[in-house]
Every structure is written in structure tokens, then in C-alpha cells.
Amino acid sequence: MMNRRRVFVILWKILFHQLPFILLLAIPAVAIWSWVSSLYIDGSVRSLLNSDGIRWSVANIITNLNAVPFATVCSLLICAGVLCESGLVSTIITLLVERNWHNGSVSLKQRRALTLVAFFVEFCAVCVVLQYIFRGSLLLSAFGTYHDSPLSRGWLGLLIVFLIIIGNVFGYASGRLVSVVDFINAHTFFLRKCAGYFIVAFVSAELIACIKYTGLLGDDAVTVLSYVLFYFPLLSYFVQVPRS
């Protein structure tokens, strides 16, 4: 059982480190596949190796990168960095494991900081509830509903900002984040550790754009592939970072 697990870990590390090269090799494979398909299998497939395909490839090298969800990924990395480096995540995990609020390994300063965070969370929760009680709220739609409202369209950004504020409050109150350098290092922790992810994202964007242009896969399949190639490597970097 241990040998199988060790083999799996080794294969996973090889795949993890060689993923950019694998995706890079997939681009010429898609080009050849599109050329063969356009000639012998499906005439509706557009080839990347004819004159139109080459012109499209050259003209859209930079444009294809717009498919990478930079804003979402960077926001998530900043949020995760603040929550981890402020000590909030480790403190909560320690409390859940020990189940002892007073005599555990969590310091008095950390408990006070956690109490402050709890009051802030309760305040924000009351504000959100009030948005539903008062139908004329600014964050609801013109009809006073959640559907198609600023709150429904911006919930992810609002949640990320909320978590970043919580992390900063806890870090400052617990003494973990004191100087400007501490705050900057906390916000950029995962951005620095996961810098290699952006190389994977760049190559993935080019690969997805090539597949979409050729029409080898349907729109639904391209959408699923986009989520897999953009977010699965990101999760892999999160798994690898604590071990590095």
C-alpha cells in the first residue's frame, strides 16, 4: 500500500512540474489534429496549419491571454495569503483540534483578536440581513430582489474583500502583522509562491483558444476544459506550497 502511494506521489510530482511542457506540446498536437480533421474527417473543422489558421495564430497571441481569469485568481491568492500569514487559519484549526478556548496553545492575544473578528463578522452579517429586510436597499435589484442585483453579481468580490479585512484585523490585533512590510508580505505570499501557475495559465489560454478556433470541441466541452486547466493547477499549487 505504501509503495503504491509513493509511486502515486512521484508520478504526481512529475506531472505537476512538467505540466507547462505537456500543455505546450499539446498545442502543435491540436494543430496537426485540426489539419488532419479538416482534410479527411470533418470539413467544418478549421485548420491551424493553413493560411487562415497561421494568420489567426499570429494575430491573437496576446489576445488569447485575455481568457485567463487574472482578476479572480489574483484576488483569491491575496485573500488566501492574508488569511494564512495573519495566523487566522492556524488559530482556528488549533482551536478546532484542541477544543479548549482557555487553556490551549492559543495565546490570550490571539483569543482577543479572534473575538474582535467574531464581532466584525456579526456586524457584517447583520448588514447583509438588513439588505433583505429593506426592499429599497442599494444592493438589491430595482424590484427589491436578490436576482440580477449588485449583490448577486458582486458576491464573490464582496466575500474576498470581507475575508481580506478579517485577516488584516486578526493579524494586526494578534501582533502577527505590525509593520507595512508584514502586511505587504502577507498579501503577496501566495502570489510569490504560486508564480509558476501563471506560466501554466498562459499556455492553457493559448491551448484553449486554439481548440476553440478549430472547432474540434463543442462550446460546452471548451468551457469545462477551461475550468479544469485554469483552476485545477491552481489547487495543485495550493497543495504543494505548504510542503515547499
Q: How many residues does the chain have?
A: 244
Mark out the alpha helices in 68-194 (DSSP H runs).
Answer: 70-85, 88-98, 108-133, 150-153, 155-174, 180-187, 189-193
pLDDT tens-digit series, residues 100-141: 666 667 788 888 899 999 999 998 888 877 777 776 676 677
What grid cell was written down for 169?
Answer: 484585523
Contact 144, 138 (CB under 8 A): no
The ranges assigned to domains in the chain are: 2-71+194-243, 87-176
CA distance 172 to 79: 16
Chain-centroid distance, C-alpha 44: 35
Q: Residue 153: pLDDT above 90? A: no
- Whole-model pTM above 0.95? no
CA distance 222 to 64: 14
Q: Residue 150: pLDDT above 70? A: yes
Q: Residue 65: pLDDT above 50? A: yes
Chain-centroid distance, C-alpha 128: 25
